[in-house]
A and B are shown apart, each in its own frame.
Chain A
């Protein structure tokens, strides 16, 4: 089913920009195609937090900055935007367990049977962050972000090894989830809010969203020279100067 220009001029056909019809279609005769079709990603834009409260955001920025500390060559988790990444993810489908099987009954099973929680991830994070804050308060009347770096690391190590227990919730699970999400945000395409300026990709030498290495396959043990490119719009060289 192709929509023809001529029919649009008579107003008899639909125009769909960037969306695919989600209802059942019958396909026959030709491969379906529309101009401007597809589902390009929406880039995260800087702005106010969409999920975290300001207090939560301060805590999360401190957390990600210990999981990935800054150094002279490469920003840490905070500078790389990992907290922004996580904020937007939790505000969206990921945070709301979109697409997962969410029907009851909910029962805990073996480790091999995988996650069975009824709680959506966003709510779970809220609970974890609140519990961590309570723990920190109990350890010296401070918020996590106010502790010096060494103390912050100690707390994280304790969560990882389960020697630090959070009241009413599983601190070990919190740590594992946070570690996974932080590192994902660090290495994902910058359009998702983390890996700002492709800093993580530059750090490791990953060329990003490039798609053609035919001239490089046979060049064994040679450094690939081109800088990384993001889906959201390449690199400085794309701008005329």
Chain B
């Protein structure tokens, strides 16, 4: 036992582990002991893949997984629950079956349904063994007494029974079956993307009821004032011009030759993908590069004589070229290449506008610590000017997109006044 503790302390490198205060163990049937190192380590890695901390850890708190963080949904806010082993305010008293029902089926022990802010429609692709492993790892965390009133949604969304209907429309429980015509690597990537990675939760367009538009998987979606880009292999709108190495570098370090993770993806990289092993990142990339997406973009680019292009081009030369260069190429790993950066190519300009108006800091990781930031231009350029320069950028260097309107810029400004990133 002593050896195991030392091993665990060494391997997981956390001082708290050696003094884990009375971990609450719910030993599942026919499973290895909840204290088995390999199980716990597998659970830790799965929790990284699933990015549990992204919602369940309050960044202003020193404790992990104590909940209380507000998750913005199109219908209002939900607070993430406390998933430490605390008996009263966490999940310490839950059985493994109850935990599995929540994570993979969206059902709480009291029978009420979870809101899909908890991405159970994707976690359903994981196996029960995966969930038990995660549980075993969660059980090793310090208990935190933190009562959370999760349901902050306004009427009528706060009536959980409404979720039955939603689940009927949008929830297909059960794992994704491996495709025998594809490689093991591809299938691993499919599992990671569709399951714990829950990429579709942000990157798949949503219906008005907030369910996936199943006909357009991973083709981009607005989210919390940003636009999560298309991550299919679409040349015009997605990752078609990215190599597998480019995708892997981006996920591992938050940066690659031409793009940088910012906004919600910055957190995702910092908390999750930068800690995923190289083989898994490559599998994700291989899978994504095989996802069909829209073949064409918004049509032909606007003419260079279009007034918006002329004005936007002048603004670009005077204001943007100092960093992004006259040819838009930027500096690899430092300043995004506008010909290839996803926020430029996207179907909607929301992310691009947000970055231009309010500025943005890219993610810092051990592999790429620089974290270069874009300054805010909102004070210096009018709505019309920002509309012109973003129109210019989205119709240059191989891109084609409808012109940005002053109204779109105005909306981003207004939304930004109430929030920070």
Contacts and interface: CB of A to CB of B under 8 A. Distances in A.
Contacts of A110: none
Nearest to A9: B70
A36 B326 contact: no
Contacts of B317: 226
For chain A, give the interface size range: 35 or more
A237 interface: yes
A30 B364 contact: yes
Contact of A17 (B225, B325, B385, B417): B417
Interface in A81-114: none
B421 A35 contact: yes
Interface in B400-421: 416-421
Residue among B358, B371, B376, B416 with max Cβ neighbours from chain A (10 Å): B376
B254 to A, nearest CB: 12
Nearest to B313: A237
A38 B311 contact: no
A209 B317 CA distance: 12
A202 to B, nearest CB: 15
Contact of A9 (B72, B376, B382): B72
> Which of B70, B318, B373 counts the most chain A CB atoms within 10 A?
B318
A209 B59 CA distance: 40
Contact of A238 (B72, B77, B314): B314
* A interface SS class: loop
Contact of A3 (B321, B384, B385, B420): B420
A8 B416 contact: no
A40 B311 contact: no
Contacts of B319: 234
A240 B388 contact: yes
B376 A38 contact: yes
Given A36-B359, A212-B322, A233-B380, A4 B311 contact: no
Contacts of B418: 8, 15
A214 B325 contact: yes
Given A5-B225, A33-B361, A211-B322, A237 B72 contact: no
B298 interface: no
Contacts of B79: 10
A241 interface: yes
Nearest to B71: A6
Given A5-B224, A241-B307, A31 B361 contact: yes
A165 to B, nearest CB: 48
B24 to A, nearest CB: 28
A36 B380 contact: no
Nearest to B384: A240
A143 interface: no
Q: Which of B60, B224, B364, B416 has the most CB of A within 10 A?
A: B60
Contact of A35 (B224, B360, B382): B360
Nearest to A16: B420
Contacts of A226: 317
Nearest to B381: A233
Interface in B64-93: 69-72, 77, 79
A189 to B, nearest CB: 12
Given A6-B71, A35-B359, A229 B379 contact: no
Interface of B: 59-60, 69-72, 77, 79, 224-225, 307-308, 310-311, 314-315, 317-319, 321-322, 325-326, 358-361, 364, 371, 373, 375-376, 378-382, 384-385, 388, 416-421
Given A17-B417, A234-B315, A238-B385, 16 more contacts: A2-B421, A6-B71, A7-B69, A9-B70, A10-B79, A30-B364, A30-B371, A31-B361, A34-B420, A36-B379, A210-B318, A212-B325, A215-B326, A237-B310, A237-B311, A241-B311
